[in-house]
Chain A
């Protein structure tokens, strides 16, 4: 039985979080983790080929990468309880993969009631019945720690890498940090990797003007964070010499503010009355935050067919008009090309750059 041998668990690539999935699966659950191959054109082709037409791009990406994970030997797939449609998508994903003839077990977190503590143990036991709950929890929290470090370092990275005065040293330190996280086996590995990159960052000379251009990124949860999906939007902007700020990440959305969403909602009561989607509240709040802090521009990111984020756009338009801050709207689909994105980004950069000189 599958129960007897160690499971090979996988979860599709998602930004750089797979190092933490791997850590939790291997160190906390005592299973084997199958790292799916990086997202490529092939992933998208696979995903598009087997997806129904109406789904959004993140679904296709996930499906494509799940197929690649199964090809790489995974026998258990994990699906999170999603933020929006992704939550209902689990069943659909499973059905498509079964129809394709793959043998695997599908653990869909949205089938569990996550508000009950007992449920967590049930999930854990499903992965590995021999798990010791106390030990699991301790090591799980180390994985969570990794996520927090990852988000903290990534935020720092995109705020500063565009001003590297040492020929890519900043970027190399970040890459080394990622490698350290992907190979970490213990708490001390995580801590060491974190300390090393902090030291490396602060010893890298930055050539930053007194008032650098600052751009805030908001948008749909998946595309806004995943570099492959947004065609390295943040790196491209940073490389033009921009401080790139993004609030949206796993730490802020789930770990810290998961329950704090209520407070955010109160803060934007004057802008909109209802919660419109999974991330709308946070996005509207953060867009205004950027405007109030005197940022030079806002970029709104979403995938095609993402309905919740379409509803956010009129509110952003109002913020743009009230605070006189340019907002660039980007919609990604499989056809979005690097060239097209560069044209828009360069124009956006020129605009905020020339504007800053005049104001």
Chain B
């Protein structure tokens, strides 16, 4: 029996999972929508991974979780490693690009930048402030122009004179865009302008004051957009690497961290058939009114958190 390691990345939008062997080769991988139900998504994910997985020759001996629901999912999967998404992304990416110096990431709702030196993250920043640097801005503007999000890239690459769009802040960018449409700029130029604006806004906000060195790896949903990739290459003056497995880097990092960690626990695929639920218990101990999240397997309480002080611990 060879050892294998499971990594799961549960974000607000998508849920990703990989199983790797001890050389970081991917044995199984899956990507599905979270749809506001992390428990359901993880059960489905595990079921789909099981189908791809060679149970006769491999055994999962450690499990890592990451993403915004890492704690909940960690409790459910009996994870041996629960890691924040920044570390998981950095570890996943450096495993495949040991020389990487800069990781750009733009997701649907947020974006981050990680600077790497000698395979170790040395600086990072996260942004949740300005929507103009995220995928949500891109898709809403595509809708305004009446084109599919998937086609943005091709449109943008056809443009020879990208329209200048004020990129400082979402509100300005939107009104400027409307103005440029009314002035009759061609659609591909406007789309290219929007891609430039996303890149510029990202570099101005998240990337502010950060020294971006090559090799640069670009991840997150928006990295699938060729227009934004081209905009980054133009502004940064260096090639920008987009890995086809880029969306899995968080899950990969979680799996690798689980492999490197000391915890060992055989993973049981049967968990798909078990009943998990969460309950929110309000502590009335003081005006903080902490909401304590309790996770149950059947009737058994397996984990809880959210209380600010010990008084809330008795409540579950």
Chain B binds chain A: yes
Q: What residues make up the interface of A, taking CB atoms closer than 8 Å to B? A: 37-38, 40-43, 313-314, 317, 320-321, 324, 326-327, 329, 339, 342-344, 346-348, 350-351, 354-355, 358
Residues of B within 8 A of A (CB): 68, 83-87, 90, 118-126, 209, 211, 286-289
Q: A346, B87: Cβ atoms under 8 Å?
A: yes
State how many angstroms separate the Cβ of A49 from the closest Cβ of chain B: 14
Given A38-B286, A347-B86, A355-B120, list of 19 further CB < 8 A pairs? Answer: A40-B288, A42-B289, A314-B209, A324-B122, A327-B123, A329-B125, A342-B84, A344-B86, A346-B84, A347-B84, A347-B87, A348-B124, A350-B83, A350-B84, A351-B121, A351-B124, A355-B121, A355-B122, A358-B120
Instruction: Report how far A40 CA is from B126 CA in the complex, Å.
Output: 27
A41 CA / B309 CA spacing, docked (Å): 14
Partner of A358, one of B90, B118, B123, B125: B118
Residues of chain A within 8 A (CB-CB) of B120 are 351, 354-355, 358
Which of A38, A42, A350 is the one whose CB lies under 8 Å from B121?
A: A350
Jot down 6 A-B pairs with beta carbons below 8 A, ordered by A. A42-B287, A320-B123, A326-B123, A346-B84, A346-B87, A347-B87
Minimum distance in angstroms from A74 CB to a CB of chain B: 18
CA distance A253 to B270 in the complex (A): 60
Give the complex CA separation of A121 and B21 in angstroms: 76
Q: Does the CB pair A347–B124 fall under 8 Å?
A: yes
**Whose C-beta in chain A lies nearest to the C-beta of B67?**
A343
Bound together, the chains give a CA A216 to CA B211 distance in angstroms of: 23
Q: Look across to chain A and name the residue whose beta carbon is closest to the beta carbon of B118.
A: A358
The residue in chain A whose Cβ has the minimal distance to the Cβ of B87 is A350
Query: Whole-angstrom distance from the CB of A67 to the nearest CB of chain B?
Result: 12
Asked if B126 contacts A344 (CB within 8 A), the reply is: yes
Q: Majority SS of interface residues in chain A?
A: helix
- A351 near B119 (CB under 8 angstroms)? no
Sort A-B residue pairs by CB-CB distance and give the 5 closest, nearest first.
A347-B86, A42-B287, A40-B287, A350-B87, A317-B209
For A324, the chain B residues whose CB sits under 8 A away are 122
Looking at the complex, which one of A41, A342, A347 makes contact with B287 (CB distance below 8 Å)? A41
Which residue of A is nearest B289, CB measured? A41
- Please give, as numbers and ranges, the residues of chain A lying within 8 Å of B209 by CB-CB distance: 313-314, 317
B122 touches A351 (CB 8 A): yes
Q: Give chain A nearest CB distance to B124 CB in angstroms.
A: 6
Quick one: given A317-B209, A354-B120, are A40 and B286 in contact (CB under 8 Å)?
yes
| Distance of A306 from chain B, by nearest CB (Å) | 15
Chain A residues with CB under 8 Å of B68's CB are: 339, 343
| Cα distance, A314 to B125, chains bound together (Å) | 14
In the complex, A275→B56 CA distance in Å?
A: 69
Please report the C-alpha to C-alpha distance between residue A324 and residue B124 in the assembled complex, in whole angstroms. Answer: 13
**Closest beta carbon of chain A to B114's beta carbon, Å:** 9
Alpha-carbon distance between A351 and B126 when the two chains are bound, in angstroms: 14
Contacts of B87 in A (CB 8 A): 346-347, 350-351
Residues A326 and B126 in contact, CB atoms below 8 Å apart: no
Q: Return chain B residues, CB-CB under 8 Å to A347.
A: 84-87, 121, 124
Q: How far is the CA of A42 from the CA of B68 in the complex (A)?
A: 27
In Å, the complex CA distance between A270 and B156 comes to 46
B288 touching A41 by the CB < 8 A rule?
yes
Q: How far is the CB of B295 from chain A (nearest CB, A)?
A: 15
A326, A344, A354: which has the most chain B beta carbons within 10 Å?
Answer: A354
**Given A321-B211, A358-B119; A346-B289 close (CB under 8 Å):** no
Residue in A closest to B115 when the chains form the complex, CB atoms: A326
Complex Cα distance, B119 from A276, in Å, reads 37
Is the CB–CB distance between B84 and A343 below 8 Å?
yes
Closest-CB distance, A109 to chain B (whole angstroms): 29
Chain A residue numbers with a CB within 8 Å of B123 are 320, 326-327, 351
Q: How far is the CB of B310 from chain A (nearest CB, A)?
A: 11
Residue from A313, A346, A348, A351 with most neighbouring chain B CB atoms (10 Å): A351
Distance A343 CA – B66 CA, assembled complex (angstroms): 10
Instruction: Choose among A40, A326, A344, A350 the residue with the greatest number of B CB atoms under 10 Å from its CB.
Output: A350
A38 to B311, CA, bound (A): 15
In-complex Cβ contact of A354 among B85, B121, B126 (8 A): B121
Find chain B residues with CB under 8 A from A37 CB: 287
- Residues of A near B286 (CB, < 8 A) are 38, 40
A346 close to B119 (CB less than 8 A): no
For the complex, give the distance between the alpha carbons of A358 and B211 in Å. Answer: 21
In Å, the complex CA distance between A42 and B211 comes to 42
In the complex, A342 Cα to B87 Cα: how many Å? 12
Chain A residues, CB < 8 A from B125: 329
Contacts of A339 in B (CB 8 A): 68
Min Cβ gap A312→B in Å is: 13
Give min CB distance, A185 to chain B, whole Å.
27
Contact partners of B118 in chain A: CB under 8 A: 358
Q: How far is the CB of A118 from the nearest CB of chain B, in Å?
A: 43
Give the shortest distance, in Å, between B207 (CB) and chain A (any CB): 12
Max chain A C-beta neighbours (<10 A), residue from B126, B209, B211: B209
Residue in chain B with minimal CB distance to A329: B125
Query: Within the assembled complex, what's the spacing in Å between the Cα atoms of A231 and B292?
Result: 17
Given known A-B contacts A40-B286, A317-B209, A343 and B121 have beta carbons under 8 A apart: no
- Chain A residues lying within 8 Å of B211, measured Cβ to Cβ, are 321
Chain A minimum-CB-distance residue to B126: A344
Residues of B within 8 A of A42 (CB): 287-289
Contacts of A344 in B (CB 8 A): 84, 86, 126
Once A317-B209, A321-B211, A354-B121 are accepted as A-B contacts, the answer to whether A346 and B287 lie under 8 Å apart by CB is no
**In the complex, which residues of chain A have a beta carbon less than 8 angstroms from the beta carbon of B126?**
344
- With a cutoff of 8 Å between Cβ atoms, the chain B residues found around residue A313 in the complex are 209
Chain A hits for B289, CB < 8 A: 41-42
> Which residues of chain B come closer than 8 Å to A317, judged between CB atoms?
209
Chain B residues contacting A38 (CB-CB under 8 Å) are 286
- Nearest residue, chain B, Cβ from A326: B123
Least Cβ distance of A92 to chain B in Å?
A: 25
The complex places the Cα of A186 from the Cα of B141 at a distance, in Å, of 68
| Given known contacts A351-B120, A355-B120, A358-B119, A346 and B83 CB-to-CB distance under 8 angstroms | yes
